[in-house]
Amino acid sequence: MDSKRLIELAALATEASGCTKCALAESRTQVVFASGHPNSSLMIVGEAPGQNEDEQGLPFVGRSGDLLDELLEMIGLDRKNVYITNVVKCRPPKNRDPKPEEIEACKPYLRDQVPLVDPTVVVTLGNFATKLLLPTEEGITKVRGRSYEWWARWLVPTYHPAAALRGGAKVKDLMQADFWEVRRLLDSVEPTKATSD
């Protein structure tokens, strides 16, 4: 990765760390900007930090994160080689859904993160990330199960891990199928970027 993009990404994280552009700034412990490899071929976009993430400052460190790790491991990836972030970077109080005005306020960070990381494949976990990026009015159940060409990248929408934790083996099976599609896409493009050690 050229150092200019690395510096810009770090500057963006620093800017976000003091962000007060929406009301979530008042209740968060800290901003959860992203984790993982800043030049990964694979970017994962979740919904919003939960309690564990808010405490640790890292995305997907709770139970949903364990399932995400398992899915990544299934396709031969370690989370340290994947760029992981969320639609909103601050925890909504009591884990409520992010409000439209919060999503709108936070959107510029994600809009800048994508070209700076420059992934080949973007996975959206759940309705919030999928509806923001695709964009679509359809729910995740309808849009998942295939990949979409998206700004010269591939977008793979799938369920949020929390849905699999609630919904059981069937939802997890479908998520596994979606992650195999991710593997296929990563294998079908030039292996010039970091998703391996």
- Chain positions contacting ligand SF4, by CB under 6 A: 16, 19-22, 24-25, 31, 88-90, 102, 105-106
Q: Please report how close the Cβ of residue 173 comes to ligand SF4 at its closest, in angstroms.
A: 33
Q: Of the candidates 112, 32, 40, which has an alpha carbon nearest to the alpha carbon of residue 83? A: 40
Edge to edge, the sheet with strand 121-125 lists: 83-86, 42-46, 121-125, 153-158, 148-150
Q: From the list ligand SF4, ligand URA, none, which binds 60 (C-beta under 5 to 8 Å, kind-based)?
A: ligand URA
Residue whose beta carbon is closest to ligand URA:
46
Q: Of the candidates 80, 71, 62, which has an alpha carbon nearest to the alpha carbon of residue 159? A: 71
Q: Which stretch binds ligand URA (CB under 6 A): 48-56, 97-105, 111-119, 139-147?
A: 48-56
**3-state class of 40 per DSSP?**
strand
Q: From the list ligand URA, ligand SF4, none, which binds 24 (C-beta under 5 to 8 Å, kind-based)?
A: ligand SF4
Q: With respect to ligand URA, which residue has the nearer C-beta, 47 or 102?
A: 47
Contact between 145 and 177 (Cβ < 8 Å): yes
Taking CA atoms, 35 is separated from 59, 137, 142, 145, 146, in Å, by 7, 29, 29, 26, 26
Contacts of 158 (CB under 8 A, 6+ apart): 123, 124, 125, 140, 144, 174, 175, 178, 179
Q: From the list ligand SF4, ligand URA, none, which binds 59 (C-beta under 5 to 8 Å, kind-based)?
A: ligand URA
* Contact letters for ligand URA, residues 81-120 (x by CB under 6 A): -----x----------------------------------
**3-state class of 194 per DSSP?**
strand
Residue from the set 36, 37, 47, 103 that interacts with ligand URA by CB under 6 A: 47
* Contact letters for ligand URA, residues 52-71 (x by CB under 6 A): -x-----xx---x-------
In the complex, the residues that contact ligand URA under the rule CB under 6 A are: 46-50, 53, 59-60, 64, 86
